[in-house]
Chains A and B, each alone.
Chain A
Amino acid sequence: MNAIVKEKAVAPEPAAETAKREVLLKVDNVSLSFGGVKAITDISFDIQKGEIRAIIGPNGAGKTSMLNVINGFYHPQEGTITWQGKVRRKMKPYEAASNGIARTFQNVALFKGMTTLDNIMSGRSLKMHRNFFWQLLWHGPAANEEIEHRKKVEEIIDFLEIQAIRKTPVGKLPYGLQKRVELGRALAMEPDLLLLDEPMAGMNLEEKEDMSRFIVDVNQEFGTTIALIEHDMGVVMDLSDRVVVLDYGKKIADGPPEEVQANQDVIDAYLGVSH
């Protein structure tokens, strides 16, 4: 697979209407299956730097699988992924983080035994380098490094307005706050691309408004590119710059929200017209 990919040099800049920004990630003809069951079939789209890109579709459309492919947790059988202009080889899941991809999860995947502070600090893991022996000693370099990163983490805590729960074990927090901590943890990684898997699932209206505000702020203040999966159409249409629609593992539409909203295939998919 890799051999073929290498011959296919980086594609030239796409057509003019989407060329307003640099392409951060490009998915080309990706297919993924589990033991014969196709989860994703021949999907291509791109994510541009600085945009908020939404991936939507009915349940079982392959959205989460798509995110898993993007951050290297699943390896597609076919197709290529181009990251920051380079075709990506088959990588280990832990390499995604060092590439600058962070994410949150559909079912909150926080570290339950740790406090909010530690959870967010864990996002700094890759940026901390003091080795085991400095850690043993603690006083001096290891402690200084810890303090330096703690400052960054405190900024995120302030930004997300979760100062009060800093020392609370996350297992004890209500769901909405857990989602917020998870976002904080992803932000602590200072990613180039932030993947959000249903960041607003199970939230009430107020919490959704808060979360939407955070997402927009992250995008605008830090300039972070965001790809998100969301079921709430209102949120998707308000937040996102462009939307890609999946159904049964296939791409059925791609474009600005208003365009996608009008697309007949999308309407059919959501209303459940038989294929």
Chain B
Amino acid sequence: MFYREAGQFKTSYKADQALMPILQDRVGLAVILIIAFAVIPATANDFFLTSIMIPFLVFSLAAIGLNILTGFCGQLSLGTGAFMGVGAYAAYKLTSIFPDANVIVMVLLSGVFSAAIGAVFGLPSLRIKGLYLAVTTLAAQFFLEWCFIRIPWLYNYNASGAIEVPHREVFGIVASGAEATPLARYFIVLGITVFIALLMANVLRGRIGRSWMMIRDMDIAAELMGIRPLRTKLMAFAVSSYICGVAGAMMVFFWLNAAEPSSYSIRLSFQILFMVILGGLGSLSGAFMGAAFIWILPVILKFVPGLMGIDLAAETIEHATFMIVGALIIFFLIVEPHGFARLWAIAKQKLRVWPFPY
């Protein structure tokens, strides 16, 4: 009843191409953006910002990055963690080489380095496909992780072997380092994530996004229609790695504050992959939903027993969280294998015809 597109006619191709042709969707997005930019900053406490929203946004961006490669271009990658690491180390080096530069610019620039490295590891994708390609990206994962440990130049020869985020100000506001307020970091992370998500929405509705999906759906047919497979795949690798790199840099600069190579381990790669698959391959909004499920759900679950007056040991809660998340993953896959994005689309479809289901 409320979600109807009847009566909304498009009078030009331009209107039909808009990101959200249906009015209700646009209103919904506006509401979400208002919540994100106004309501949450006004009401949330530090814990909510630093432990829920900032990681959620960082992961969402990384999931968008991986989704470009796996969901839109069909190339399975298990090296996301390492590509995020490249971004983090690049951003760290950039800020130490150019201490006066704007840290946000440096973070955005750091993705360029991970894009280059991602493209190099994407080269074998011309010959190797599917699960076999996973081994290439795993090689990238373990090799790059090794580099983070073995090339002391990357971490400025710190005795700790870790990168520590320096204090930086942007327009007089502390943006990174220990003194940066959660609110400032939240706005930066939110801004970058929304900005890149919008740019990607643009790319995906145009020629380049279509060429990625052509490769994904039927690579031979795409090739016979003039799509150069290597160029297209490498571009997906580069764009995906760029986004992951920026997410990785944000992860250390605006969330963790310091990172060891193990912060960018294979576990992170899997974490992001879970988000992408559960959220829905080939869906930008799915990336957000997947990130929310994998990151926010366990954090919140921890509070449930305490608030219900049940006193459980910390490790029991952890065990229970693992079991619940595992069971929910299987449950949701059975209910809707194409992820939350599809679930949402079905829900919208139901709303559209409600109250008459036929």
Contacts and interface: CB of A to CB of B under 8 A. Distances in A.
Interface of A: 71, 73, 92-98, 102-103, 105, 109-114, 118, 121-126, 128, 130, 132, 135-138, 142-143, 145-147, 150-151, 154, 185, 189
Nearest to A71: B224
Contacts of B282: 113
B199 to A, nearest CB: 5
B214 A132 contact: no
A118 B211 CA distance: 10
Contact of B224 (A97, A111, A138, A150): A97
Given A130-B207, A135-B208, A136-B203, A110 B218 contact: yes
B210 interface: yes
A111 B207 contact: no
A94 B218 contact: no
Q: Which 7 A-B pairs have the closest CB atoms?
A: A97-B226, A111-B217, A138-B202, A109-B221, A126-B226, A128-B207, A135-B206
A111 B221 contact: yes
A189 B208 contact: no
Nearest to A154: B13
A94 B223 contact: yes
The listed residue with most B CB atoms (<10 A of its CB), out of A73, A123, A137, A146, is A146
B277 to A, nearest CB: 15
A125 B229 contact: no
Interface of B: 13-14, 17, 199, 202-203, 205-211, 213-214, 216-218, 220-229, 235, 282
A135 B214 contact: no
B218 A109 contact: yes
A120 to B, nearest CB: 11
Nearest to A96: B224
B224 A93 contact: yes
Given A111-B218, A114-B210, A150 B226 contact: no
Instruction: Please report whether the interface of chain A is mostly helix, strand, loop or mixed according to DSSP.
Output: helix
Nearest to B196: A136
17 contacts: A94-B229, A105-B221, A109-B221, A110-B217, A110-B218, A111-B213, A112-B218, A113-B216, A114-B217, A118-B213, A125-B225, A126-B225, A132-B208, A135-B209, A143-B17, A151-B13, A189-B226
A150 B210 CA distance: 14
Contacts of A111: 213-214, 216-218, 221-222
A135 B205 CA distance: 9
Given A111-B218, A125-B207, 12 more contacts: A92-B223, A94-B225, A95-B226, A109-B218, A111-B222, A121-B210, A122-B210, A126-B225, A136-B199, A138-B205, A142-B202, A143-B14
A8 B208 CA distance: 41
A136 B227 CA distance: 20
A48 B176 CA distance: 69
B242 to A, nearest CB: 11
Contacts of A92: 223, 228
A222 B53 CA distance: 57
A108 B340 CA distance: 29
A130 B207 CA distance: 8
B189 to A, nearest CB: 20
Given A105-B221, A111-B218, A94 B226 contact: yes
Given A113-B213, A122-B214, A147-B17, A135 B207 contact: yes
B201 to A, nearest CB: 8
B210 A118 contact: yes
Contacts of A125: 207, 210-211, 214, 225-227
A135 to B, nearest CB: 5
